[in-house]
Amino acid sequence: MYNKFLAEKIIKNALIEDMNYGDTTTDILIDEHSISEAFMIAKEEGVIAGLPIAEIVFRLLDNKIAFQFIKEDGEHVKKGEQIAIIKGSTKNILKGERLALNIIQRMSGIASKASAYADRINGYNTKIVDTRKTTPGLRMLEKYAVRVGGCFNHRFNLSDAVMIKDNHIKAVGSIEKAVDRVRKNIAHTTKIEVEVTNLKELEEAINANADIIMLDNMDIETMKKAVAITNRRAILEASGNVTIERIKGMAEIGVDVISVGELTHSVKAMDISLMII
Beta bridge partners of 38: 86, 276
Full-model pTM: 0.95
Q: What pLDDT score was predicted for residue 241?
A: 86
Concerning whether 216 is annotated as a catalytic residue, the answer is yes
Which amino acid belongs to residue 38? Answer: A
Q: Strand (E) positions, the chain?
A: 35-42, 46-47, 66-69, 76-77, 82-89, 127-129, 162-164, 192-196, 212-216, 235-239, 257-259, 272-276
Select which of 4, 9, 165, 233 is catalytic.
Answer: 165
Q: Boundaries of CATH 3.90.1170.20 in the chain?
A: 4-118+268-276
Select which of 59, 71, 132, 133 is catalytic.
Answer: 133
How many CB atoms neighbour CB 46 within 10 A?
26
Helical (H) or strand (E) element with 141: helix 139-148
Concerning whether 133 is annotated as a catalytic residue, the answer is yes
Concerning whether 170 is annotated as a catalytic residue, the answer is no
Q: Boundaries of CATH 3.20.20.70 in the chain?
A: 152-259
Q: What is the third-level CATH fold of 4-118+268-276?
A: Aldehyde Oxidoreductase; domain 3 (3.90.1170)
Angle at 23 between CA 21 and CA 24, to 5 degrees: 95
Q: What pLDDT score was predicted for residue 80?
A: 97
Q: What pLDDT score was predicted for residue 2?
A: 83
Q: Residue 218: helix, strand or coil by DSSP? A: coil
**DSSP class per residue in 30-53:** S-TT-EEEEEEEESS-EE---HHH
Concerning whether 9 is annotated as a catalytic residue, the answer is no
**How far is it, in rounded angstroms, from Cα 274 to Cα 268?**
19
Select which of 55, 193, 195, 237 is catalytic.
Answer: 195
DSSP 8-class letter at 165:
-
Q: What pLDDT score was predicted for residue 70?
A: 98
* Positions of the chain with pLDDT lower than 50, given as ranges: none
Select which of 73, 216, 237, 256 is catalytic.
Answer: 216
C-alpha separations of 246 from 126, 210, 234 in Å: 14, 26, 23
* Domain 152-259: CATH class, spelled out: alpha beta
**How far is it, in rounded angstroms, from Cα 165 to Cα 158?**
12
Select which of 98, 191, 224, 225 is catalytic.
Answer: 98
